[in-house]
Amino acid sequence: MQSVVLEGFHAVKHALRFGAVVEPLVAVSATALAELAESHAPDLVDVLAGSVREVSTEEFVRLVGKRHPTGVAGFTRKPDVDVAGLLAGRVAPLVLLDNPRNLGNFGAVVRVAAGLGAGGVVSVGDVDPWHPNVLRGSAGLHFALPVGRADGLDGIAGPVYALDADGADIGDVRIPSDAVLAFGSERHGLSEAMRERADHLVSLPMRPLVSSYNLTTSVAMALYHWELSQRAS
């Protein structure tokens, strides 16, 4: 299993909350870490206090590769993710990113998907979903739901709802919980292969003269639409 670095207090906090074994956990100041835990993660006060190793700033940079404003970092193992299983079926919508390009956006998508209870996030393309910049953008919430990469579109079961400006208004569409929500890249949109695979093209409400939303915003809006429909059912 591949080792990954959790940069910052919030990444460490989220990873611990969702079952990651963080070892070692290092901090420039154990006292400052305790204060952060008291104010932002009281559920983890004892866990953090019992596992932190205080290091110098120089040692922190040597281990992590850079400084961090919180002076906190951890190391853990990337979990095994059954991507084929995610594509074959799920009980909450799977977010499928079609050749995403911006690593920060990718991480923010994971964060939104975790918050709204998606079944997972899978990408198609050459970007590593566990790249340090993606993990940084998710604030460690890769551990809250399955995140992985598929070699292609084969094996996708369940209805695929692809987001496209020319699609049907999502407000008139009920997204089922076994759906795949597909989103194109920030620059080029959906690939032809994804368009061909899609069972439905749906669009988000947008006022005239506005050309597009940020990828993360689009994912958030689509998942929230699904979540609201769950409440109503």
pLDDT at 231: 82
The first and second tokens of residue 111, run together, are 């964060």
- Positions of the chain with pLDDT lower than 70, given as ranges: 1, 233
Q: What's the rounded Cα separation, in Å, for the pair 160 and 224?
A: 17
- What pTM, to 2 d.p., does this model score? 0.94
Nearest alpha-carbon partner for 140 in 43, 5, 25, 1: 5
Encode 41-54: b = buried (16+ Cβ within 10 Å), e = exposed: beebeebbeebbee
Cα separation of the two ends of the chain? 41
Q: What's the rounded Cα separation, in Å, for the pair 48 and 94?
A: 32
Tens-place pLDDT, residues 27-56: 999 999 999 999 999 999 999 999 999 999
Amino acid at position 171, single letter: G
pLDDT at 34: 97
pLDDT at 1: 58
Burial of 144 (0-12, 13-18, 19+ CB in 10 A): buried
Domains and CATH numbers, the chain: 3-77 (3.30.1330), 83-232 (3.40.1280.10)
pLDDT at 192: 93
